[in-house]
Amino acid sequence: MNGWTALDRFLRTDPRDVGCAEAMELLHVYAELAAAGAPAAERYPGIAAHLAACGPCGEDFDGLLAAVRSPAE
Amino acid sequence: MAPADPTADGISPAPRFDPDSDQWVRVLSGSGPQREAALARLHGLLLRIASGELQRRGGQFRITGPELDDLAYQAAADALLAIVVKLSQFRGESKFTTWAYKFVIFEVSAKIGRHFWNNPAVRMDAEDWERLPDRLGLDPARETERRELAGEVRRAVDEHLTPRQRQVFVAIVLNGVPMDALVTELGSSRNAIYKTMFDARSKLRDVLAAKGYLNVQTSRHS
Ligand SMILES: [Zn+2]
């Protein structure tokens, strides 16, 4: 991959991206769907787009998913 | 989900969650020793999730031993407070515990973001543009391309970004400041910083594409 392609990838934004506020608002719903193996990304494409593009929200999603999957008390 | 029938006198029953969630909400909305016990139990759960999350993200910061335990404890305590305050906002769209865990994950992120500034070597406004090619992950062997690209990006930043967009771009891209750390430093929100960076990326892409640098017609799999 040449440098301009890498730059293009970095600058490219997804119009479906809902932003942090909406993704964080629904993160518990999204994570529970994902944990259950339901098609969370199909149901909430704007959140899926955001989690793919936003490092911190993606990290929070991974963390919540791990928490939901962790054995109970 | 079908709503429960209203009672004969027209009063709707309280919203029903799954039995576990219902139990949590009922006891936490109540009072007395039952509520105290539930708060203690919830705090224990949150502390376990906070510790697990800090461990999972261990590679992102240098915090160990008692300081790590302290951070987990603070995150759990702050999350518990947020949950109590926002309890009436729980609508049963997930299990109560999933909703509650979300708060402690957010607290862990915020605490890691704040902790970033404990390293005095980091600055958010240094402008070392020589770093740009590496920060964008460009191949060191392609010297000409690196120089041309970095120069064009810098010019586009100078000529087309607003002062705020420029500040956020410099902090995140040039200086590698994590977004949550920038949120603390600027007294902003993650949503606002992300939006600023989103608009900056979009503007830079338009500018560079208009100059013919980015082949925007190219399909995604090029
Ligand atoms: Zn985000």
Domains of chain B: which residue ranges?
19-113, 124-221
Rounded to two decimals, the pTM is: 0.89
pLDDT at B5: 46
Is A71 an interface residue toward B (CB < 8 Å)? no
Which token pair is A2?
A: 């040449």
Q: In this structure, what is the dihedral angle of CA atoms B170, B171, B174, B179, given to the nearest 10 degrees?
A: -130
Q: What is the DSSP letter of B173?
A: I
CB contact under 8 A, A63 and B44: no
CB contact under 8 A, B49 and A67: yes
pLDDT in tens, A31-46: 999 999 999 999 999 9
pLDDT at B219: 42
pLDDT at A3: 84
- Other CB atoms within a 10 A radius of the CB of residue B135 amount to 17
pLDDT at B214: 84
The SS3 assignment for B210 reads helix
pLDDT at B14: 56
How far apart are the C-alpha atoms of A57 and A65, rounded to whole Å? 12
Q: Which of A6, A59, A66 is opposite residue B109, by nearest beta carbon? A: A59
Contacts of A57 (CB under 8 A, 6+ apart): A20, A23, A24, A27, A50, A51, B190
Cα(B166) to centroid(ligand 1), Å: 19
pLDDT at B216: 64
Q: Which of B93, B198, B201 is opposite residue A29, by nearest beta carbon? A: B93
How far apart are the C-alpha atoms of B143 and B24, rounded to whole Å? 61
Residue range B19-113 forms a domain whose CATH class is: mainly alpha
Picking from A41-45, A69-73, B57-61, B70-74, which range would have the lowest pLDDT averaged per residue? A69-73
Asked whether residue B11 carries a pLDDT value surpassing 80, the answer given is no
pLDDT at B126: 82
The rounded Cα B201 to chain-centroid distance in angstroms is 19
A43-to-A26, B6, B10 alpha-carbon distances in Å:
12, 31, 35
Q: For B131-154, what is the mean pLDDT?
A: 89
pLDDT in tens, A4-62: 888 998 999 999 999 999 999 999 999 999 999 999 999 999 999 999 999 999 999 99
Domain tally, chain A: 1
Q: For B24-39, what is the mean pLDDT?
A: 96
pLDDT at B124: 81
- Give me the helices (H) in chain A, please: 3-11, 20-25, 27-35, 40-43, 45-53, 55-69
Q: What is the residue range of A64's domain?
A: 3-69
Asked whether residue B215 carries a pLDDT value surpassing 90, the answer given is no
A54 vs B contacts (CB less than 8 Å): 179, 194
- Other CB atoms within a 10 A radius of the CB of residue B80 amount to 21
Asked whether residue B161 carries a pLDDT value surpassing 50, the answer given is yes
| Residue A20 distance to chain B (closest CA, Å) | 5
CB contact under 8 A, B201 and A59: no
CATH of domain B124-221: 1.10.10
Which token pair is B183?
A: 């949120």
CB contact under 8 A, B145 and A13: no
- Identity of residue B178: P
Q: What is the DSSP letter of A15?
A: T
CB contact under 8 A, B198 and A19: yes
